Amino acid sequence: MELRKEIKILLWIIVVFVFAFFMPIESARFNTAVTATFDLVKWYAREHVILCLLPAFFIAGVISVFVSQGSVIKYFGANAKKWLAYSVAAVSGTILAVCSCTILPLFSSIHKRGAGLGPAIAFLYSGPAINILAIILTARILGFEMGVARVIGAVSFSIIIGLMMSLIYRKEEKVRREEQMQIIPVPEKRPMWQTMTHFFILVLILVFANWGRPAAGDTSGTWYYIFTYKWYITGFLSLVLAWSLIKILKIKWQWVLAAVVATGVSVLLANSFIDSAKLRPLVPVVVGIAALSVITLFDRQDVENREWTLSTWGFAKQIIPLLGIGIVIAGFLLGSTHDGQSIAGVIPNEWISKLVGGNSVFSNFFASIVGVFMYFATLTEVPILQGLMASGMGKGPALALLLAGPSLSLPSMLVIKDIIGFRKTAVYAVLVVLMATISGLIYGAIF
C-alpha cells in the first residue's frame, strides 16, 4: 500500500515535469488559451462568486437547517407522489434565476435532506434550464419558436431524465424508500409559511441582484426598468431580510440594526471611492454577507441560526474548489466568451462553428457535447448562440446547445460527482446529451 502511494506521487512528479519540459510557450494558441483561462477565472470571480454563489449557499443553508427532513421527504422523497414531486421540480427554474453552478448547493441540500434521486435530478436540470429570464431573452433574440421549443424541451427533459435516473437506479431507490418509511418526522420548529417567507426573500435577492442587462437598444419595457432600478429593489429586499431576521429567526434587533448600518455605510463608501459601476455594488454585498454571517454565528437565542451559517460554509468548502478547477480547465480548452468578447482556448472557435452547421446527427451530437462541457453563465448562452448562428450554426444544433449547455458544465459535473458519485453523474450527462441531440434533430427538421 505504501509502495503504491509512493509510485503515484512519482507518476505525478513525472507528469508535471514532462508538461513543464515540453510546455509550448512559443505557441500563440497556447498563450491565448492561458490568457483565456485567466480572463474566465477573473470574470467568474467578479460576476458570479459574490452575486450568485454566496447567496445560493445561504439559500441552500436554509433548506439544510430550517426546512425539516420530513418536509423534503414529503414533497421530494422516494415515497412522495410522483406527479407532485416531478411537477414541483420541473418548474423550479421559473423561480430560480440560476446557472449550472449556482444550482449545485441547492441540489446538494435537498439530496442530503432525503429527496429521491429522480426529483432531485429533475430539480438539478430544470433550475438553470427554464430560467424565466433566459426563456424571454431566447424568444426575443433567437425567435419565438426557439423560446417555445426551449420551454417544452426543458420541462420535458427534467421529468424524463429524472424518471430515467430513478428507473436505472431503482434498486437503490427502493432501499431509500424503505429507509424513509422508518423515519419519524420531527415537528416543524416554526410554521412552514415563516420558513418559506425567509427562503423566498433570499431567492428574490438572488434574482434581482443578478437581473441581466436588456438587449442592445432596448430602453423601454418592464425588463429595462427592473434592470435600471435593480439595486434599489435589492436594497429594499435586504431590509425585508432584516425584518425576517428579527421576526422569524428572533435575532436581537440591535445586532440586525448594526448589520444594516454597516451595509449602508459601505454603500456610501463604495459610491465615493470606487469608479467602476460594475464593482461598486459588490462592496455592500460582501459587507452584508459578512455582517449576516457574524450576527448568526454569535447568536445565542437559537442554535439553528448558527447552524445556518455553518451549513453555508460547508457548502462553500465542498463546491468552490471543484468549481475553480473546472473553470480553469474549461477556460483553457474552450476559451472565455462574455460581455461581447471572445478569447479562444486551445480548441479554436472556428472548428466548433464548422462542426455545428446543418442538421446532421453529428452536428447536433457535437453541439450537445460542447454544451455539456462549456460553462454558460445565466443569460450568456443567448448572445453566444446568436454569434454562432450568424457564423453558420444550424437551428437544430442551436437548440441542442441551449438544452444541454445551461444545465451542465465541466465545473458543475465535478461537483455533482462529489455529491452523487461518478457513475450517476456520467449517466446523467449521457442522458442530457442524448435528449438534446434528439430534440435538435426534430427541431431542425421542422424549422
CA–CA distance, 33 with 344 (Å, rounded to integer):
6
pLDDT of 268: 93
Q: What is the pLDDT of residue 186?
A: 62
For the chain, state the CA radius of gyration: 23
Element (H, E) at 382: helix 381-390
Query: For position 188, what pLDDT does the model report?
Result: 66
The pLDDT of residue 323 is 74
Nearest to 298 by CA among 251, 236, 229, 351: 251
CA pair distance 222, 211, nearest whole angstrom: 12
Please report the pLDDT score of residue 277 as a whole number.
83
The pLDDT tens digits of the residues spanning 364-410 come to 998 899 888 877 766 667 767 766 776 677 889 989 988 888 778 88
Query: CA-CA distance, 200 to 282, in Å (whole number)?
Result: 22
Q: Where are the domains of the chain?
A: 36-251+299-446
Can you tell me whether residue 338 is helix, strand or coil? Answer: strand
* Segments of the chain scoring below 50 in pLDDT: none
Q: What is the pLDDT of residue 383?
A: 64
pTM above 0.75, yes or no: no
Angle between helix 69-76 and helix 117-129 axes, rounded to 10 deg? 80
Per-residue pLDDT at 372: 87
Question: How far apart, in whole angstroms, are the C-alpha atoms of residue 158 and residue 163?
Answer: 9
Q: Which helix (H) or strand (E) holds 259?
A: helix 253-273
**Per-residue confidence (pLDDT) for residue 297, from 0 to 100:** 92
